[in-house]
Amino acid sequence: MNAPFVSPIQDLLDDLHARLIDLRAGEVATYIPELGKADPEWFGLAVATLDGTLYEAGDSRVPFTIQSVSKPFVYALALQDLGLPDVLKQVGVEPTGDAFNAVRLEPSTGRPYNPMVNSGAIVTSTLVGGDTFEERRTRILSGLSAFAGRELAVDRKVMESEAATGDRNRALAYLMHGAGTLTCDVEESLELYFEQCAALVTTRDLAVMTATLAGGGVNPLTGETVVSVEAAAKALTVMATCGTYDYAGEWLVRAGLPAKSGVSGGLIAALPSQLGLGFFSPRLDSRGNSVRGVTACEELSERFGLHLMRPAERSGPVFHRTLRGDTAHSSRVRAHDERTALTRLGGAIRVYVLRGDLAFSSSEAIVRTISEDTDSVRWVVLDLKRAGRVAPVAEALLEGLAAKLKERGITTVVVDTEKGVTVPSAVISETRDAALEWCEDALLESAGASRMTVPLAEQDLLRSLDPFLVTALEAYLEPREYAPGERLMEDVAALCFIISGGLARQIMIGNPPRPFRETSMGPGTAVGRLALIDDAEHTHRIVAECPTSCLVLTTQSLARLERDSPRLADSLRWSIANAIATRLRRTDAENHALIH
C-alpha cells in the first residue's frame, strides 16, 4: 500500500510555510483591543482552484475576523444589488495612496475615494440590497457566507471591541452623513460595517471566497452563483488598483495580482479565471499588511508565474486524449505472445496527450489527475507535442510529478521534440509512438514476456501451418545476419522471418532527405516485399536496429518452392493474407478506439 500521493504544489506550500515561519517582523494590531489577543505565530496559507481543489498549509483552519478583507466581497454584493452606476454615485473607484483609515473625501463630490478604504466600505455596506437595517445585515452575512460556501458566524467580542474604540470610523461616518454621501442612519451604518469586519473566517475560506471572485462569481465548492461575472470583475478591478492602499502600485508590480488585506492579518489575492489565494498571519507591517502574508503571496506569485501581466495561459481542456497500453499499442509489430501480454498487462501504461499552454492551472490539473490514478500504473507518458508554451512553473511541477512517481516505481516519459523541456526525472522521447514502444518493451521485460528469439515453428506467419510444411519450408530458407544499420531487402529476398534482433521501417523525409523511423518489427514477425502477392516494389527502407538474425526466402528460392511444392507455396500465401487481414482488423479497432 503506497503512502498517499503528496502533490508538488502541496510541497511548495509546505516549504514556503516552513521558510517564512521564521519571519517575525511586524506587530499584531492592537487598536481594536480584542485583535491584540491573536497568537502572533499563526500562519496559514491556502490555494483554491476554480474546480474546487484546495491546497492548504499551516494554520489554515484557525478562525479569525475577516476585517477589511470583507470589503471587496461586500462591494461585489452592492454592485450585484444596485448596479455600478448607482454605486458609483456614492463611492468612487480612485486609488488614494492613503492609509485605510484616512479621513479624506473627494473634494468635489464628498464621495469616499474607493470602497477599499474605511470611508468607502462604510457607505458600501449601506448599498447592499434590503429595505431595512435587518435585511441589509442578513444580506451581508449571507452574502459573505455564500462566497465562503459555508455559514459564517460573527465574533461579537471583536465587534463590540471595535464599536467601543472605533471613533475614527465614527468620525468618518458623521462627516459623510454631513456631506450627504451616507444617507442611512450613522450608527446603523457603522454597525453594518463593524459586523462585516467581525465575520469569522479561516484562511481556507479566504481562498474559496477569492476563487469565487476569480471564477466570475461562482463558488467553486458549492457551484452557487453568488454575484454576476460583471460584479466579480469590477470588485477584482478595485482590488487591483486600491486593495493594498498606499502599497497598491508596488504590490501590483511585484505580485501582479488583485489583492486585499485586513488588520487581523488576512490577505487575499486572485488570479482571474484561475485561482484564489488566502494567507493569514497576524503580524503587520507599517501599512497594516500581514508581513508573512505579503511575502508568501509575492513568492507564490513568482514561483507559480501568476503575474497578471504575463501572457495568459490559453485555457480549455488540458487533456487532449488519454490512452491505456492495453487497448492502444505502439506501431511496433510484435509476435503473438508479446501482443497477448500487452493486452493483458498494458493497463500499467498510461498515455496523456496534453494540449494548450502549460502554466500553473493546467499543470495543477495534470499533476492532480495523474496522481489520482496511480494504483496499477508503472509507466506514464506525457505527450507535449500538442501543448503550447510550457512555463517554468509547468516544468517545475512536471518534474515534481515525475520525481514523485519515480519514488513509487513509476517511470515518466515526456514526449517533446521542439520545446526542450527540462524534466530530469523523466525519460525524454521524440514521438509518442517511440515512447509507447519504449514502455511496452520495459513492461514485457519486467513481466518476463519479451521474446528475444522466436524459432521458425513459432513465427506468427507459420503458427497455423502443419509442422511438416514448416519443416519443408525450412529447406528453402537461408540464414542471414544483419549488423546494426544494415539495409535489407535490397537483394532478392521475398520474405524474411526475424528470429532474433529487430528491424525498423524507414521512409525518407525532408530536404536533403533523411531517414525517419516509421515503425519497427521484433522477433517472431516477418517482413516481405509483397512479391508473394503482387510483385509490387518496396517503397520503404528496412534497416536492422541491432544485430539481427533472419531466415530469408529469396525470390529464386520462392520460384523453386512454387515449382517443387505448389501446396506449400499456397499455404504460405494464405498465411500472409490472413496475417494482413488480422493486422488490418487490429488497426481498424485501434483507430476506432481513437476516434470514439
**Residues designated catalytic:** 68, 71, 193, 245, 263
In the complex, least distance from residue 239 CB atom to ligand DON, rounded to whole angstroms: 12
In the complex, least distance from residue 68 CB atom to ligand DON, rounded to whole angstroms: 3
Residue 315 in marked binding region: no
Which of residues 182, 197, 211, 235 is near ligand DON by CB under 6 A? 197
Site for ligand DON, residues 126 to 165, rule: CB under 6 A: 162
Cell 519504449, residue located: 438
In the complex, least distance from residue 15 CB atom to ligand DON, rounded to whole angstroms: 28
Cβ-based nearer residue to ligand DON, 247 or 304: 247
In the complex, least distance from residue 58 CB atom to ligand DON, rounded to whole angstroms: 21
Residue 31 in marked binding region: no
Pairing relationship of beta strands 54-58 and 283-284 according to DSSP bridges: unpaired
User: Which residue, 140, 149, 134, is CA-closest to 121?
Assistant: 140
Identity of residue 112: P
Fill in the per-residue mask, 279 to 298: x = in contact with ligand DON (CB under 6 A), - = not in contact.
Answer: ---------x----------
Residue 383: φ, ψ to 5°: -95, 110
In the complex, least distance from residue 123 CB atom to ligand DON, rounded to whole angstroms: 13
DSSP-derived secondary structure letter, 527: E
In the complex, least distance from residue 191 CB atom to ligand DON, rounded to whole angstroms: 12
Which of residues 60, 68, 202, 281 is near ligand DON by CB under 6 A? 68
Cβ-based nearer residue to ligand DON, 171 or 577: 171
Residue 190 binding ligand DON, by CB under 6 A: no
Classify the phi-psi angles of 383: left when phi > 0, otherwise alpha if psi is within -120 to 50, otherwise beta.
beta
Identity of residue 476: Y
CA dihedral for 239, 244, 249, 253, sign (positive or negative) = negative
User: Which residue, 367, 232, 432, 393, is CA-closest to 302?
Assistant: 393
Residue 61: φ, ψ to 5°: -110, 10
Dist CA 223 CA 221 (whole Å): 6
Q: Give the orientation angle of helix 70-82 with respect to helix 229-242, to 10 degrees.
A: 140
Pairing relationship of beta strands 514-521 and 266-271 according to DSSP bridges: unpaired
Cβ-based nearer residue to ligand DON, 55 or 75: 75
Cell 479621513, residue located: 103
Q: Which stretch binds ligand DON (CB under 6 A): 184-192, 258-266, 452-460, 514-522?
A: 258-266
Cβ-based nearer residue to ligand DON, 90 or 101: 101
Residue 100 binding ligand DON, by CB under 6 A: yes
Q: Which stretch binds ligand DON (CB under 6 A): 259-267, 315-323, 390-398, 497-505?
A: 259-267
Identity of residue 367: V
User: Which residue, 124, 145, 148, 153, is CA-closest to 136?
Assistant: 124
Cβ(456)–Cβ(474) under 8 Å? yes
Dist CA 58 CA 77 (whole Å): 31
Identity of residue 53: T
Cβ-based nearer residue to ligand DON, 284 or 402: 284
Which of residues 90, 145, 161, 169 is near ligand DON by CB under 6 A? 169
Q: Which stretch binds ligand DON (CB under 6 A): 213-221, 257-265, 376-384, 409-417?
A: 257-265
Dist CA 215 CA 230 (whole Å): 11
Residue nearest to ligand DON (CB): 68
CA dihedral for 296, 302, 308, 313, sign (positive or negative) = negative
Q: Which stretch binds ligand DON (CB under 6 A): 226-234, 261-269, 332-340, 570-578?
A: 261-269
In the complex, least distance from residue 241 CB atom to ligand DON, rounded to whole angstroms: 15
Residue 193 in marked binding region: yes
Q: Cα 570–574–577 angle (5° rounding)?
A: 140
Dist CA 130 CA 140 (whole Å): 10
Residue 56 binding ligand DON, by CB under 6 A: no
Dist CA 235 CA 586 (whole Å): 57
Cβ-based nearer residue to ligand DON, 118 or 126: 118
Would you list which residues are annotated within the binding site for substrate? 68, 118, 162, 169, 193, 245, 263
| Contact residues for ligand DON, defined by CB under 6 A | 67-68, 100-101, 118, 162, 169, 197, 261-263, 288
Would you list which residues are annotated within the binding site? 68, 118, 162, 169, 193, 245, 263
